[in-house]
Amino acid sequence: MDLKEIRSQFPILSQTVNGKPLVYFDNAATTQKPNTVIDIVNEYHSRWNANVHRGVHQLSNVCTDAAEAAREKIARFINAAASDEIIFTQGTTDSINLVAETFGRAFIKPGDEILVSQTEHHSNFVPWQQIALRYNARFVVFDCHDSGEWDMNDFYAKINAKTKLVAVGHVSNALGTVNPIKDVIDKAHSLGIPVLVDGAQAIQHIPVDVQALDVDFYVFSGHKIYGPTGIGVLYAKTQWLEALPPYRYGGEMISKVTNTYSEFNNLPYKFEAGTPNYIGQIGFGAAIDFISQFEVQQIATYEHKLLRYAEQKLSDLEGVVIYGKSDEKAAVVSFLIDGIHPYDLGVLLDKTGIAVRTGNHCAQPLMTRLGIFGTVRASFAFYNTFEEIDYFAEMLRKIIPMLK
């Protein structure tokens, strides 16, 4: 991969922050956008904008075709069996709420159980907890080890005939752990239980094949894979999309409406009520085109080298504790420095142009389990460089004595 060429396609990367060249290590929160994404969003707003699906005129048809082409691209990218299995949502959080609300309404009864892991992002925790409360079901959490890896014995002990759904993350946003989701899916399926996988932190880092995984629901956000904000995907097997009731009601999701009843539209539109974020979809499609120029495996290998390099550099510093000790990790390093508040470190790093995230990373149950309130998190994308990590380590070396 030609890094210089890749970086030149992301205009934000060549700017300064606080008078210093930007070092953007907050990619798990959101990724930056290449020119192709920025340009296409601008082009469709300035040249082609018209509402989709219901038009007879040219602009509407152009937008409709481009928005639907994005659905096809995403289906191919994750190897879905059909593009109708791709539902556009506002993002990962919206996708999970869609499944939690509709699955809950259709299938969750008092005494049922919903099983999640201790390491989930709040987006894949709170919706299930609240659905369980609403239907008098049990919300069951399986444990992780101190390393951040799942305690699979606890998973095997807690899944049972009462479990109605398992919801787990592919990659931990807080620690970077790549989780053994295939083992979870295979075990759940042996008991006839469907599995939702939160792919928000996996889709941009590792190849995802939903048919090979045999996963029932797989969700992710456009903005974490170089696309626009406000657009995301719910992939679901056709059998589930047919079995679930609609999420929201309104235009587009109906085929017939009378004073007394309504008939719902075919897939995927049954789950896409109202005017969709069609320009977001088009931008998302451009992001998929962008990333498809590379092998996702090639990206993963490079990012893994960045990760191990950063971990090594951090370990050389006194008082650093790294959280998330797994052989299988995506490009996230979470750490604390003895006696220093993560927030103070984040603020001083910002003064040097380095953007990291501090806090609980929307994973309070995990932080509680690890006995900490938060960490500093540096998360990498394939436009980051070893030189940026050297600079990061050098700045930490200067900042640490100032905060002690």
Residues of the chain by 3-state class (helix, strand, coil), percent to 5: 45, 20, 35
- Contact call for residue 173 and ligand PLP (CB under 6 A): yes
CB of 15 to ligand PLP, least distance (A): 23
Residue among 198, 216, 272, 311 that touches ligand PLP (CB under 6 A): 198
Q: How are beta strands 195-198 and 23-24 bridged, if at all?
A: unpaired
124 vs 352, beta carbon nearer ligand PLP: 124
62 vs 96, beta carbon nearer ligand PLP: 96
- Contact call for residue 91 and ligand PLP (CB under 6 A): yes
- Contact call for residue 285 and ligand PLP (CB under 6 A): no
Q: How are beta strands 254-257 and 262-264 bridged, if at all?
A: antiparallel
Catalytic residue among 174, 188, 286, 362: 362
386: Cβ contacts below 8 Å, ≥ 6 apart:
306, 309
CB of 34 to ligand PLP, least distance (A): 19
389: Cβ contacts below 8 Å, ≥ 6 apart:
306, 309, 310, 313
Among candidate residues 148, 223, 147, 217, the one with its CA nearest the CA of residue 184: 217
Amino acid sitting at position 345:
L
66 vs 363, beta carbon nearer ligand PLP: 363
Interacting residues with ligand PLP between 11 and 70 (CB under 6 A): 28
x/- letters, 297..336, toward ligand PLP (CB under 6 A): ----------------------------------------
- Contact call for residue 201 and ligand PLP (CB under 6 A): yes
Amino acid sitting at position 297:
Q
d(CA 391, CA 294): 27
121 vs 237, beta carbon nearer ligand PLP: 121
CB of 227 to ligand PLP, least distance (A): 11
* Order of all β-strands in the sheet with 375-379: 320-323, 332-337, 375-379, 357-359
Residue among 23, 100, 159, 200 that touches ligand PLP (CB under 6 A): 200
Among candidate residues 228, 235, 301, the one with its CA nearest the CA of residue 95: 235
The pair of structure tokens assigned to 85 is 């299995």
129: Cβ contacts below 8 Å, ≥ 6 apart:
139
Is 63 a residue of the active site? no
What are the Cα distances from residue 360, in Å, to 96, 144, 274, 331? 20, 17, 35, 18
What are the Cα distances from residue 7, in Å, to 11, 38, 184, 225, 387? 8, 15, 37, 15, 13
Only one of the segments 15-23, 120-128, 149-157, 259-267 lies at the binding site for ligand PLP (rule: CB under 6 A); that segment is: 120-128
Residue among 92, 163, 265, 379 that touches ligand PLP (CB under 6 A): 92
Could you tell me if 98 and 90 are in contact, meaning their C-beta atoms sit under 8 angstroms apart? no
- Contact call for residue 123 and ligand PLP (CB under 6 A): yes
Only one of the segments 79-87, 121-129, 156-164, 373-381 lies at the binding site for ligand PLP (rule: CB under 6 A); that segment is: 121-129
Only one of the segments 118-126, 271-279, 326-334, 377-385 lies at the binding site for ligand PLP (rule: CB under 6 A); that segment is: 118-126
x/- letters, 209..228, toward ligand PLP (CB under 6 A): ------------x-------
37 vs 395, beta carbon nearer ligand PLP: 37
- Contact call for residue 280 and ligand PLP (CB under 6 A): no
Count of residues of this chain found to bind ligand PLP when the rule CB under 6 A is applied: 13
344: Cβ contacts below 8 Å, ≥ 6 apart:
403
Active site residues: 362
Binding footprint of ligand PLP on the chain (CB under 6 A): 28, 91-93, 121, 123-124, 169, 173, 198, 200-201, 221
